[in-house]
């Protein structure tokens, strides 16, 4: 990854050094960085290793163990599409196909312009409104393939 900006370096420094927890650990430090930047840049791994007086390998070992940590910057918007059992029965596979086409993706990941991060979810917790997706944590239920694509298009035009 390219180096982070001076501003982001400072944000990482503050995030790991201003933790308000009784016990600061490698994990709490990584969580603080991800909360701040929404991902863990290489330099954060180094800073956490220095703070915790441990090695870069040890910090990376902890970070890579947890699937919720990401190591590349996320898109400006996050779209999660549920493919859990209820949504599946309500036709989510057709929606997934159309949404992936619209995003130009073959699976989870970021669009080429890094505008949208796309993820699957096994249950967004609102099965009564299936099929469902969330955009930047706002739930949108009773989707059709057309309405899902429409939502994504309007998301791109709102920036
Ligand atoms: S299975 Fe999709 S919201 Fe629960």
**Confidence grade of residue 97 (pLDDT, cut at 50, 70, 90):** very high
Token match 């701040």: residue?
36
CA of 156 to the centre of ligand 1 (A): 25
CA of 41 to the centre of ligand 1 (A): 32
Atom of ligand 1 nearest to the CA of 84: 1
* Average pLDDT of the residues in 52-64: 96
Does residue 40 surpass a pLDDT of 90?
yes
Q: Whose CA is nearest to atom 1 of ligand 1?
A: 84
The predicted pLDDT at position 128 comes to 97
Q: Does domain 77-157 have CATH number 3.40.30.10?
A: yes
Token match 């505008």: residue?
115
Pocket-forming residues, ligand 1, beta carbon under 6 Å: 82, 84-87, 123-127, 130, 132
Q: What tokens appear for 18 in the block? A: 């201003």
The predicted pLDDT at position 3 comes to 84
Atom of ligand 1 nearest to the CA of 123: 4
**Rounded-to-5 percentages of helix, strand, coil across the chain:** 50, 15, 40
The predicted pLDDT at position 65 comes to 95
* Average pLDDT of the residues in 54-64: 96
- Tell which one of 127, 137, 142 to mutate to probe ligand 1, the residue whose CB is within 8 A of the most ligand atoms: 127
φ and ψ at residue 122, rounded to 5 degrees = -85, -15
Domain boundaries, the chain: 6-65, 77-157
Does residue 86 surpass a pLDDT of 90?
yes
The predicted pLDDT at position 159 comes to 58
**Confidence grade of residue 2 (pLDDT, cut at 50, 70, 90):** confident
Does residue 1 surpass a pLDDT of 80?
no
> How far is 122 from 88, CA to CA, in rounded Å?
10
* Average pLDDT of the residues in 48-70: 95
Does residue 16 surpass a pLDDT of 70?
yes
The predicted pLDDT at position 49 comes to 97
């Amino acid at each position: 990854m390219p180096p982070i900006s001076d501003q982001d370096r400072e944000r990482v420094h503050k995030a790991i050094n201003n933790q308000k927890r009784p016990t600061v650990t490698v994990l709490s430090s990584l969580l603080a960085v991800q909360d701040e930047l929404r991902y863990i840049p290489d330099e954060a791994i180094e800073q956490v290793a220095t703070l915790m007086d441990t090695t870069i390998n040890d910090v990376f070992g902890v970070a890579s163990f947890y699937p919720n940590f990401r190591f590349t910057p996320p898109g400006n918007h996050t779209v999660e599409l549920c493919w859990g059992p209820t949504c599946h029965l309500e036709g989510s596979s057709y929606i997934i196909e159309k949404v992936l086409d619209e995003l130009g993706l073959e699976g989870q990941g970021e669009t080429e312009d890094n505008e949208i991060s796309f993820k699957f979810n096994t249950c967004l917790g609102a099965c009564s409104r299936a099929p469902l997706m969330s955009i930047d944590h706002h739930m949108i239920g009773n989707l059709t393939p057309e309405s899902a694509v429409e939502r994504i298009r309007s998301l791109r035009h709102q920036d």
